[in-house]
Amino acid sequence: MAITTVDVLNCLRQMADVIHENKEYLTDLDSAIGDADHGINMDRGFQAILKKLPSVEDKDAGTILKTAGMALVSSVGGAAGPLYGTAFMQAGMAIAGKYELEAEDLLAILDAALKGVIMRGRANLADKTMVDAITPAVNVIREALGNGAGTVEVLEQAAAAAKKGMKDTIPMLAKKGRASYLGERSIGHQDPGATSSYLLINTMAEMARVKE
Amino acid sequence: MKKLINKPEDVVKEELEGLALAYPDIVKVHFDPDYVYRADAPVKGKVALISGGGSGHEPMHGGLVGLGMLDGACPGQVFTSPTPDQMLEAAKMVHGGAGVLYIVKNYTGDVMNFEMAADMARSEGIRVLSILIDDDTAVKDSTWTAGRRGVGTTVLAEKIVGAAAEKGYDLKKLADLCRKVNINGRSMGMALTSCTVPMAGKPTFDLPEDEMEIGVGIHGEPGRERMSLKTADEITEMLALSIIDDPAYSRTVRELDEEKGEWVDVTLEDPPFKAGDQVLAFVNNMGGSAAVELPIIYRKLHEICEKKGLKIVRNLIGPYITSLEMQGCSITLLKMDDELLELWDAPVKTIGMRWGI
């Protein structure tokens, strides 16, 4: 099952809905170990994406993702802006010129996004960040592709792995970002960035499920 | 939430509109992207200084724009870093042909956004250097955290480096001076209450009547340690000693290397204070404490410095780097020398700081 640019546009719109619905939840998570703005900032960023989408409706999937990334960089601020912005821009570059995406392209997208996040934020696995949700997703996609899985299966496994990765941040001691200043007090809280990463990956899976 | 605001989402925009109307002789405001800049910018032949960060720390940074201080300030949403397009456009507006220095507080978001902005400005042919301020002794460990936060020393650096830019220092020399101020300054803050981000609508954390947070940053984030409430003298002693007795602090930061044209890791070490040092003592109101309380802090700080053999040669007392309406204070000590003293005393005309003019 190929994913079209219409699907990509719909997925971004659905991501905006999901982020909006979870705005308070993400902000509450951030209140506990950060500065109480993650949901607010992500919501502003995805609303900015929605405004840009009409201008790229006839463009390739790579251009659509790059445009979304630039909208995030110039509207989110904080650490999430450069991190998600870079992730979307790198993902867009990985599928530049494509109008239809196959299961392998999903690996290219998430792998490029992860590398972008690591390049910009220099976080390692288990630092209690977005990286902890995205890395397991990329790993299972790679494995699932090797076993010949299709788009839906690949994304469902990725969402499950991201969810586990997100939950796994709870006992972690934060080593990056504002939560790192809390030292031991960051333990016992779920990372807001890992949570938004899971929500976005899960939205991709839902999009594929509905399409099927 | 009780605040003198209209709509939470309009707070920053309406603040900037008010500043532009009130101080047209000092600043102008550009909207979309948002930045505050000197009314007489660009100043030809002078290195332009730009800083920025989340709003909610007023008068920093917009209120520190003007003669003898910043040329531009990029305000983000409350407690949220501004974005690279603001920093790039501000640089294009204020640079007077001698380059741009970004002064960046060490917060993950600010650092990443300013890095992207510096790369973008350089690709447009603007000479840029960027110096981090990381002076918060509440953070002991730079290996397992994002390193010390940029707090009170930022205000002092903007004043001193701003005076030097006015005097004609070139970009490289200004970057060196800013780094020197940073490694010689140390701060420690505390909170009696939390604060409410307008868009969040409720306090960032709960702090019971009889407790306080020691080692807070400037974003209403919880501090390093929570303890039972103490007297002003006891609080001052805790803050002052964590600064004065802080050992040498070493960390690696990323700076732009102009010759290589890329970001490089630079290891910096803050020398500890020692008896005989001359210092500038800065007692900062976090925004919500009554003005009557700050001299009480200063009084004890003066006594402790004397006892430790530190001579206070200049001071600054008041709300300069605030955390919305948070009650509490921070103390910053900066080791001074003749160069820094002369630059500190030089004329300044901004919304938040004015003398010699």
B320-353: pLDDT as tens digits? 999 999 999 999 999 999 999 999 999 999 999 9
What's residue A211's pLDDT?
A: 84
Residues B175 and B28 in one domain: yes
Residue B4 lies in a domain: no
Picking from B79, B112, B116, the nearest residue to A37 by CB comes out as B79
Interface check A176 vs B, CB under 8 A: yes
Q: What is the mean pLDDT of residues B23-33?
A: 97
Sequence-distant (≥ 6) Cβ neighbours of residue B36 within 8 angstroms? B16, B19, B27, B28, B29, B30, B61, B62, B65, B72, B73, B74, B75
- Residue B52 located in a structural domain: yes
Per-residue pLDDT for B31 more than 70?
yes
pLDDT score of B244: 98
Verify that B32 and B71 share a domain, yes or no. yes
Report, as an integer, the average pLDDT of B18-26. 98
Residue B308 maps to which CATH number?
3.30.1180.20
Q: Report pLDDT for B164.
A: 98
| B80 in a structural domain | yes
What would the pLDDT profile of A98-130 be if each residue is shown by its tens digit?
999 999 999 999 999 999 999 999 899 999 999
The pLDDT of residue B143: 67
Whether residue B57 lies in the annotated active site: yes
The mean of the pLDDT values for chain B is 95
Number of domains chain A is built from: 1
- Predicted confidence band at A55 (pLDDT cuts at 50, 70, 90)? very high
Span of A26-30, A50-54, A76-80, B164-168 with lowest mean pLDDT: A76-80
> Are B81 and B23 in a shared domain?
yes
Q: Is the pLDDT of residue B168 over 90?
A: yes
**Ordered DSSP codes for A120-153:** HH---TTSSSTHHHHHHHHHHHHHHHHTT--HHH
Taking CA–CA distances from B148, the nearest residue in chain A reads A181
Same domain for B200 and B255?
A: no
Torsional sign, CA A197, A198, A200, A204? positive
Task: Please give the pLDDT value at position A164.
Answer: 98
pLDDT of B224 reads 79
Domain that holds residue B219: 188-244+274-335
Average pLDDT over residues B279-287: 98
* B5 assigned to some structural domain: no
Look at chain B and report how many structural domains it folds into: 2
Q: What is the pLDDT of residues A87-98, one digit of tens each?
A: 999 999 999 999
Residue B6 lies in a domain: no
Q: Hey, of A26, A33, A35, A43, which one would you mutate to test binding to chain B, going by the most B CBs within 10 A of its CB? A: A35
The rounded distance, in Å, linking the Cα atoms of B325 and B220 is: 9
The answer to whether residue A51 neighbours chain B at the CB level (below 8 Å) is: no
Candidate list B57, B61, B95, B302, residue with the active-site label = B57
Residue B8 in any domain: the answer is no
Give the A:B interface size as CB pairs under 8 Å. 108
Residue A35: the pLDDT is: 79
Q: Do B52 and B91 lie in a common domain?
A: yes
DSSP B65: B
Q: Which of B17, B133, B130, B30 is nearest to B86 (CA)?
A: B30
CATH of residue B40's domain is: 3.40.50.10440
A35-49, B96-110, B131-145, B266-280: least confidently modelled range: B131-145
Q: Do B204 and A74 touch (CB under 8 A)?
A: no
Is the pLDDT at A180 greater than 90? The verdict is: no
- Cβ distance A40 to B77 less than 8 Å, yes or no, reads yes
Tell me what the mean pLDDT of segment A31-43 comes to.
90
B206 and B125 belong to one structural domain: no
CATH number of the domain within which A79 lies: 1.25.40.340
More confident residue, B223 or B283: B283
Q: What is the pLDDT of residue B225?
A: 86
Residue B11 within any structural domain of the chain:
no
| Segment B50-55 mean pLDDT | 97
Assess whether pLDDT exceeds 80 at residue B140: no
Residue of B38 and A77 predicted with greater confidence? B38
Judge whether A70 is closer than 8 Å to chain B, CB to CB: no
Instruction: Work out the angle at residue B287's Cα, subtended by the Cα atoms of residues A174 and B199, and round it to the nearest 5 degrees.
Output: 60
Task: Read off the pLDDT of each residue in B307-316 and give the average, rounded to a whole number.
Answer: 98
pLDDT beyond 70 at A75: yes
Q: Under an 8 A CB cutoff, do B219 and A75 touch?
A: no
Least confident of B25-39, B111-125, B270-284: B111-125
Q: What is the DSSP string of A32-75?
A: HHS-S-HHHHHHHHHHHHHHHGGGGTTS-HHHHHHHHHHHHHTT
Cβ within 8 Å of B, A 10-39: 27, 31, 33-37
Q: Mark yes or no for CB contact B113/A77 under 8 Å.
A: yes
B219 is catalytic: yes
Across the interface, which of A27, A36, A73 has its CB nearest the CB of B84?
A73
- The arithmetic mean of pLDDT across residues A50-74, rounded, is 97
> Which residue from B33, B77, B221 is facing A178, i.e. has the nearest CB?
B221
In a 13 Å sphere around the CA of B223, the CA atoms on its Cβ side amount to 27
Check if the interface score ipTM surpasses 0.95: no
Per the structure, the complete domain to which residue A184 belongs is given by 3-211
Is the pLDDT assigned to residue A178 strictly greater than 90?
Answer: no
Position A168 scores a pLDDT of: 98
Alpha-carbon distances, residue A84 vs A89, A124, B79, B218 (angstroms): 8, 16, 18, 24
Q: Which pLDDT score, from 0 to 100, does residue B142 have?
A: 66
CB A176 within 8 A of CB A128: yes
Residues B238 and B177 in one domain: no
Q: Is residue B197 part of a domain?
A: yes
Active-site residue, from B30, B61, B95, B219: B219
Percent of chain A with pLDDT over 70: 100
Interface test with A, best of B221, B225, B253 (most A CBs within 10 A): B221
CB of A188 less than 8 A from some CB of B: no
Tell me, yes or no, if A123 comes closer than 8 A to chain B by beta carbon. no
* Chain B closest-CA separation from residue A73 CA (Å): 7
Residue B292 has pLDDT above 90, yes or no: yes
Out of A67-71, A196-200, B149-153, B196-200, least confident range: B196-200
pLDDT of B220 reads 74
Mutate to test the interface with A, among B7, B104, B112 (most CBs of A within 10 A): B112
In whole angstroms, give the CA distance from residue B132 to residue B156. 13
pLDDT at A34 over 90: no
Among chain B residues, the shortest Cα distance to A86 is held by B116
Q: Based on the domain organization, do B134 and B200 belong to the same domain?
A: no
